[in-house]
Amino acid sequence: MSDRRLDLPQGTLDLLILKTVALGPLHGWAIAQRIQQLSRDALQIQQGSLYPALHRLERRGWVKSKWGASENNRRARYYELTPAGGKRLAAEEVGWERLVAAVSEVLGTV
Amino acid sequence: MESELSEELQFHFERQVEVFIEQGCPPDEARRRARLLFGGLEQVKEECRDARGISFLDTLWQDLPYAARLLAKTPGFAATAVLSMAVGVGSSTLASWLLGQAAFRSLPVKAPEQLVAFRSPGPHLGFCSGAGGSDSTCFSYAMYRDLRDRNTVFSGVLARSGLPANLTFRQRTERVSLELVSWNYFELLGVEPAVGRLFSPGDDGKPDALRVAVLSHEYWARRFAGDPAVVGQRIVLNSLQVTIAGVSARGLHSLIPGRSPDVLVPIEIEETLLPVYPMLSSRAYSAMNIVGRLKPGIARQRAQAELAPVYQQLIEEEARAVPASWPDRERFLSRRLELIPARRGIEPDVDGMLVSLSAIAACVLIAACANLAGLCLARAAARQKEIAIRAALGAGRGRIARQLLAEFLLPAVAGGLLGLLIALGVAGAVPGILFDQQRARTLSSAPDPGVLLLILAVPVLTAILFGAAPALLPALGRPLRALNTGNIAQLGLGQASFRKALVAAQVTLSVGLMFGAFSFSRNLLKERMWRQGPGKENAIAFTIDAGASGYYSPQAARLFQRLEQRLSTMPGARGVGFWAGGMSRFEVEGRRLETPEENASFWFQVSPGWFGAAGCSVVEGRDFGPEREWPPRAVVVNETLKRRLFAGHSPVGKRVRLYGLNRWAEVVGVVREEGSPDFFSRLPSVYYPYSGATTVVYYVRTDRPPEHLLSAVKGLVEREARGAPSYDLKTIDAQYAEGSRSQRVMTAVLCAFGLLTMALAVVGVYGVTAYVVTRRTPEIGVRMALGATAGGVLSMVMKEVGWMIASGAVAGVLLTTIGCGLLFPAGGGPEWGKEYPALAAGTIVVAAAAALAGFLAALRAARIEPTTALRGE
């Protein structure tokens, strides 16, 4: 198991989480796995960052949590996007694209 | 909360372990790697908690035991803080409770917001009896009937009046307080009977309807032990036999707040009740208060407007019966009828004393909170390093603030609860101590929810405002900023100025309270000293109302003389006399007396024995002798009147006349009252021979402590005067005590609370000065090393102390002056010219005590060894 870890600034992690749960409720473990999957293993979110981020997002009202049964019938806490979270996600995506475009300009991308 | 977090993280952990196992690790290895991957579980939890922003209460729950441990280390301060908070909260609670009842409690009747009281300021025809309320709310019975019958805006109009009377039940006679009410009183107010029945409008006109009475609930419980069998019993009111029809339900005392009548009777009974003074039918006798219930949907202003022409007409009719020469005629005709809301009674129940007591309680509470805040700041100051380190280690501002808040809240809440418990414990007894009996009865009810909220809210809000805020604000900003700049020494200097401000505030409060204490004490002492004069103490006084019990004037005169004779032969009596009278307008032949100071004085008819008993000696002219005529031919005046009216020249030979009489009386002498009760000599008085009053006051001089003779006197009067009980039977000292009750209460309260507040201020000064010295130890060390003397250092520190005290004292003087001006608008309270010494005394005492405390703390500065100071921190 490779141990590459990209250091994510805080805002980006929020964005990734919001995007991940946008499609449906997931519990913490599944969120981490999904992000890892979708980034083709480039991003491995550590528990130490994930859970504080989830709790922070919940406090801001962008996700809401619910206890439910997981795939193997254990109790797990599921997070899903709220309408406010959806708006935030949209805003963040736009912001991210702008940031990427700007940095690419500076770097003179291929 | 906690367990959910653990569960969530545990779930994640388990899944990670499963992943490792799937990849081929043995279970132990999997767990180990997972654990490594996870990192510090507690740290993650902590971060989650922070991210979540855990609730205030949860952290407080952790902080409180810590705060408690810290407090336990300094029991002295802790005790002071808790006790002073207890006193502050307790007294504020009691004050709020009393003030709330007096100011906010509606009458316990049906729909009190529909009630209005009739009010018409202006001159009256004839007498205005003090039946309750001020003169402007008194009307004649005839006027009541007219207004009742000629209005369209009320669903009912009632009238009430008050009267004392003699009540005899089963051979025992006592003086009671009667409430005279109209037939619709109970029905209009929605009062139910507790037992038996009450008056109803249908009783009006029935033959025997007048011979009934209703007991008040309170009197029934007190005198008849709540026995339902009282219904149908006969009692004798004055000389009239009446039957008890029932008892009114608990709740309403009287429409006049502060009054607690014993028996209620129909108004029309008055003519038979007081055979000697029937006044009901006369328009010149205004003794009724009128209250109306507005019809639903009719506003007060509209009713007032509709009634105005009716009232105007009635006034004009009444004025026609008055001679044209009546000087107040014009003003009488311009009287207007006002309708004032009466949901709380006919007159407001809040008086200066209640407001003053509340203000004092508030001062103490604020001082206690300031004290506590200062202590908390002191603690925070002492632990600056620790706070700075915590901040460096990552504790958030909020976290630190919460912990400091816990340190403030713990003694505050503990003291507050203690104070609340004490207040609840003594609440039953307090009205009895502060107020006279009748008023105390009306103020003793249990608080209703609205008042309860007020009771609790006031001290809590004050504590938060004056305690928590100062405790937190300076402690918050500094540690972190100072840490950022790396300047540890800067920590806490801001705190010092804040604490100084707190202490200055305490000094301010102390000055105010100590001024009050000095002022009231001085007045009280003056009364006492004045009364230590010869012959003033050993005397008994009582009143006897023979007229109420059916003694007409000649019989009453015989009774009184007989009584006087019997009393004078009683062992221990040195002189007996009686008097009757009061303030009257009068004329002096050949002079125009314009102002009330001039043309009204006290006219007393006195028995032959009175001058001797009261210790009056004739200093000019002669006594009026044994003549007994009405109107009197000869009168005697006292020195006060001579001074007031004749500018010290002899009045002997001048002629005076009571207003309305047609014969002049000649002034034959001047007396000086040396041994008489206080009020006689202070007032300008005219004495004339006893001429048949049926209510008199006896004055019995004794040659031994008067308390021993009280029961003998009472027994003698009961034997001699059948059915006419003595009342207000007290020693002269006790009479004064009763009269000066509120003054004594205020003095006691002011002294106690003043001293407490001053003590708190003194403690505060000491604490702050000691702190400042500690803070500046390095600097002082340097100064001393460079040659400063101990004296110089001392004066440097004292300058700071001086500023603190001076600013507090000046603010205290200013606020006290303004406050007294507000509380006692001109004429209502202490005259300023005389109060300056008290204000100065209060300021000096507080300043001196505070300065002494500061000096003691500053001595520490003088004892600093330069080398130690420079070495340490």
Tell me how far apart the alpha carbons of residues B679 and B686 are, in angstroms, rounded to a whole number: 13
Contacts of B379-384 with C-beta under 8 Å, sequence gap 24+, read B379/B70, B379/B407, B380/B404, B380/B471, B380/B475, B380/B492, B380/B495, B381/B492, B381/B495, B381/B496, B381/B771, B384/B479, B384/B488, B384/B491, B384/B492
Tell me how far apart the alpha carbons of residues B705 and A30 are, in angstroms, rounded to a whole number: 98
Tell me which of B97-106, B429-438, B465-474, B549-558 is least confident. B465-474
From chain A residues 33-62, the ones with a CB under 8 A of any chain B CB are 46-48, 51-53, 55-56, 58-59
pLDDT digits (tens, 9 = 90+) for A17-42: 999 999 889 988 889 888 888 888 77
> What's the one-letter identity of residue B172?
R
Chain A partners within 8 Å of B14 (Cβ): 74
Contact A47 B7 (CB under 8 A): no
> What's the one-letter identity of residue B377?
L
Number of Cβ within 10 Å of residue B418's Cβ equals 17
Chain B partners within 8 Å of A67 (Cβ): 4
Find the residue in B nearest to A32 (Cα): B12
B636 - beta bridge partners? B669, B687
Quick one: pLDDT at residue B140?
87
Residue count (chain A)? 110
Dihedral sign from CA coordinates of B772, B774, B779, B784: positive
pLDDT digits (tens, 9 = 90+) for B284-294: 778 889 999 99
Asked if pLDDT for residue A45 goes beyond 70, the answer is: yes
B213 - beta bridge partners? B244
Quick one: pLDDT at residue B743?
77
Asked if pLDDT for residue B183 goes beyond 70, the answer is: yes
Please indicate whether residue B660 or residue B833 has the higher confidence score (pLDDT): B660
B55 - beta bridge partners? none
Tell me how far apart the alpha carbons of residues B164 and B181 are, in angstroms, rounded to a whole number: 14
Quick one: pLDDT at residue B828?
43
Residue B8 sits at the chain A interface (C-beta within 8 Å): yes
Cα B79 off chain centre by = 30
Contact B51 A55 (CB under 8 A): yes
Measure the CA angle with vertex B234, ends B170 and B248; round to 5°: 110
Q: Pick the residue of B6, B14, B15 with the most A CBs within 10 A to test the interface with A by mutation.
A: B15
Dihedral sign from CA coordinates of B370, B372, B378, B381: negative
- Are the C-beta atoms of B24 and B33 separated by less than 8 Å? no
Helix, strand, coil percentages for chain B (3-state, nearest 5): 55, 15, 25
Quick one: pLDDT at residue B486?
43
Tell me how far apart the alpha carbons of residues B553 and B726 are, in angstroms, rounded to a whole number: 18
Quick one: pLDDT at residue B489?
46
Number of Cβ within 10 Å of residue B397's Cβ equals 12
Residue B15 sits at the chain A interface (C-beta within 8 Å): yes
**Residue B676 φ then ψ, to 5°:** -90, 165
Tokens linked to B720: 């001699």
Tell me which of B355-364, B378-387, B813-822 is least confident. B378-387
Those residues whose C-beta lies under 8 Å from the C-beta of residue B572, and which sit 6 or more positions away, are: B702, B703, B704, B708, B709, B712
Find the residue in B nearest to A49 (Cα): B44
Strand (E) or helix (H) holding B302: helix B300-320
Strand (E) or helix (H) holding B511: helix B493-531
Question: SS3 for A65?
Answer: strand
The residue with tokens 């003095």 is: B747
Measure the CA angle with vertex B24, ends B20 and B30; round to 5°: 35
Find the residue in B nearest to A76 (Cα): B8
pLDDT digits (tens, 9 = 90+) for B464-485: 776 666 666 655 555 555 445 4
Asked if pLDDT for residue B537 goes beyond 70, the answer is: no
Chain A partners within 8 Å of B50 (Cβ): 52
Chain A partners within 8 Å of B49 (Cβ): 55
Asked if pLDDT for residue B79 goes beyond 50, the answer is: yes
Class of domain A10-107: mainly alpha
Quick one: pLDDT at residue B455?
67
pLDDT digits (tens, 9 = 90+) for B679-699: 555 677 888 888 878 888 888
Residue A19 sits at the chain B interface (C-beta within 8 Å): no
DSSP notation for B12-43: HHHHHHHHHHHTT--HHHHHHHHHHHH--HHH
Tell me which of B144-158, B240-254, B424-438, B557-571 is least confident. B424-438
Tokens linked to B871: 């070495």
Tell me how far apart the alpha carbons of residues A44 and B571 are, in angstroms, rounded to a whole number: 111
pLDDT digits (tens, 9 = 90+) for B251-279: 888 888 878 899 999 988 877 766 545 56
> What's the one-letter identity of residue B114?
Q
Tell me how far apart the alpha carbons of residues B1 and B20 are, in angstroms, rounded to a whole number: 29
Contact B48 A29 (CB under 8 A): no
Q: Pick the residue of A45, A55, A64, A75 with the most B CBs within 10 A to test the interface with B by mutation.
A: A55
Asked if pLDDT for residue B415 goes beyond 60, the answer is: yes
- Are the C-beta atoms of B349 and B821 separated by less than 8 Å? no
pLDDT band at B115 (very low <50, low <70, confident <90, very high): very high
Quick one: pLDDT at residue B475?
53
Residue B191 is given by DSSP the state P
Shortest CA gap A108–chain B (Å): 38
Of A28, A52, A55, the CB nearest to B12: A28
Q: Pick the residue of A10, A31, A36, A56 with the most B CBs within 10 A to test the interface with B by mutation.
A: A56
Residue B406 is given by DSSP the state H
Residue B203 is given by DSSP the state G
Contact B37 A59 (CB under 8 A): no
Question: Helices marked H in B704-829 — which ranges?
Answer: 710-720, 732-739, 741-775, 777-785, 790-823
Find the residue in B nearest to A48 (Cα): B44
User: pTM of the prediction?
Assistant: 0.68
B154 - beta bridge partners? B294
Contact B39 A47 (CB under 8 A): yes
Tell me how far apart the alpha carbons of residues B158 and B140 are, in angstroms, rounded to a whole number: 13
Contact A52 B47 (CB under 8 A): yes
B190 - beta bridge partners? none
Percentage of residues in chain B having pLDDT higher than 90: 9
How many helices (H) and strands (E) chain B has is answered by 31, 22
- ipTM associated with this complex: 0.82
Chain B partners within 8 Å of A27 (Cβ): 11
Quick one: pLDDT at residue B311?
92
End-to-end CA distance of chain A: 31
pLDDT digits (tens, 9 = 90+) for B521-530: 888 777 766 5
- Are the C-beta atoms of B389 and B482 separated by less than 8 Å? no
Of A47, A53, A75, the CB nearest to B12: A47
Of the candidates B607, B484, B618, B496, the residue with the CA atom closest to the CA atom of residue B544:
B607
**Edge-to-edge order in the sheet of strand A63-69:** A26-27, A75-81, A63-69
The residue with tokens 């009281």 is: B117
Mean pLDDT of B598-623: 81
Q: How confident is the prediction for chain B on average, in pLDDT?
A: 80
